Amino acid sequence: MKLWKKDTKINKLVEAFTIGNDPDFDLQIAKYDIQGTAAHIKMLQKIGLLKVQELDQLEIALKEIYQQIEHGNFCIEQGVEDVHSQVELMLTRKLGAVGKKIHAGRSRNDQIMVDLRLFFRAEIKEVSQLIHELFEVLLLQSETYQAVLMPGYTHTQVAMVSSFGLWFGAYAESLVDDLTLLGSVHQINNQNPLGSAAGYGSSFPLDRKMTTETLCFDDLAYNAIHAQMGRGKTEQFLSFALAGIGATVGKLASDMVLFSNENFRFIKLPDAFTTGSSIMPHKKNPDVFELIRGHCNLLQSLPTQVSMLNTNLISGYHRDYQLLKGVLFPALENMKKCLKLATHCLAKIEINSSILEDEKYKYLYTVEKVNDLVKKGVAFREAYQQVAREIESGSFSYAGTVEHSHEGSIGNLCLPEIRGKMGKVMGRFG
């Protein structure tokens, strides 16, 4: 069944190619198609295109289909093009001509956009919650290990004294930035396109504000053409947000792989979180973080893929947009898996609290010595040269203490302030 079916027959090869994997992806948005249809038919009854009795029949039937979806018993039958066609087919089988009335005043173009925006809204909220869970673990670890020092690196060379508290806290605050971008995407996504039909509105007196309120959208996408231009553009904004999260989590995973290396031994993964070698009995590989890193690197390619699918398309609907599901749906699933695994593993890692006892880290304190001389009245550049000469001669040593007090330093992590930032951002998701 196809909603656009006429008396002509379509070539089987063309039919299979144009349908593609849509039936599989449409199962993920089926319940949102029911929600969108339920809102639409309530509006149709209000403007006189459905009788009250017909609305009641349709609502009961839609609830039954929704329950099938929830229990995993819903499928898109062989020969049925998409979820929209399947739902209308099921309603028509049960209710006859009444089932054929649900499509008045809408097109598959705005129908799929509503489905996707409801789906993306739910996915964005789930991703935001998973980010918040990872954030809380990072902040807890930052607080727990705030006094444990570790080497800081620039250019992958030993640089200055850092701390595990500073390191954990850095990733926590980075997630706040990522969530800020995701919140902006949520705001853009949460506009109702229903009623824009094929992109040029309808001659029916549709009440678009009613469906906006029913579906809990923040606002309307008012201009019908603008609503249609949101297809592809919304996905592009979402791809940037996912890429940003991927960059943060991927960098964290890369640190975990390096810091658990035997030559570093900053951290230790529990044996249950590692894998082994088929020929080397001693190996304990950080595969979980290598795979998180790999998935996150792929997530960072999302904006390019979505941009290329959107390239050179004029205004109006294009079938190219169908391919966006195959790019974004798996990406969202992988993003959630990476966040869950990172949260699970980071809560259980062991920290090496005596790293800086190793002689190779003595030059971490050169800046501390320069600063101590400046505090005694020596000009900064003279102090710098004096310490440099000590390093060159091999006489450098430092017996002082590390005292950092400014906001965001190892002695003042500002964890309550970072938590406050996260609280404000989380509030944007409702």
Beta bridge partners of 150: 162
**Burial class of residue 288 in the structure, from the number of CB atoms within 10 Å of its CB (0-12 exposed, 13-18 middle, 19+ buried):** buried
Q: What is this structure's pTM?
A: 0.93
Q: What is the Cα–Cα distance from 337 to 127, expressed in whole angstroms?
A: 10
Residue found under tokens 């992590």:
413
Tokens of 400: 């002082």
Q: What is the CATH number of domain 119-354?
A: 1.20.200.10
What amino acid is encoded at 379 in this protein? A
Kindly give the pairing relationship between strand 219-220 and strand 191-192: parallel
Per-position DSSP letters for 237-280, written without gaps between them: HHHHHHHHHHHHHHHHHHHHHHHTSTTT-SEE--GGG-B--SS-
Tens digits of pLDDT across the chain (430 residues): 555 455 567 677 776 776 677 778 899 999 999 999 999 999 999 999 999 999 999 999 999 999 999 999 999 998 898 999 999 999 999 999 999 999 999 999 999 999 999 999 999 999 999 999 999 999 999 999 999 999 999 999 999 999 999 999 999 999 999 999 999 999 999 999 999 999 999 999 999 999 999 999 999 999 999 999 999 999 999 999 999 999 999 999 999 999 999 889 999 988 888 888 788 888 888 899 999 999 999 999 999 999 999 999 999 999 899 999 999 999 999 999 999 999 999 999 999 999 999 999 999 999 999 999 999 999 999 999 999 999 999 999 998 889 999 999 999 999 999 999 999 999 988 7
CA neighbor of 145 nearest in space, from 120, 124, 162, 122: 162
Angstrom distances, CA of residue 374 to CA of 370, 379, 381, 382:
6, 6, 9, 9
Residue 208 near residue 220, CB atoms below 8 Å: yes
Write out the DSSP string of 381-396. HHHHHHHHHHHHHT--
SS3 255: helix
| Alpha helix ranges (H) inside 260-322 | 287-299, 302-310
Work out whether strand 267-268 and strand 350-351 pair parallel, antiparallel, or are unpaired: antiparallel
Q: Measure the CA–CA gap between 250 and 244, rounded to whole angstroms.
A: 10
3-state class (DSSP) for residue 215: coil
Strand residues in 210-302 grouped as ranges (E): 219-220, 267-268
Domain with CATH 1.20.200.10 in the chain: 119-354
Architecture of domain 12-101: Orthogonal Bundle (1.10)
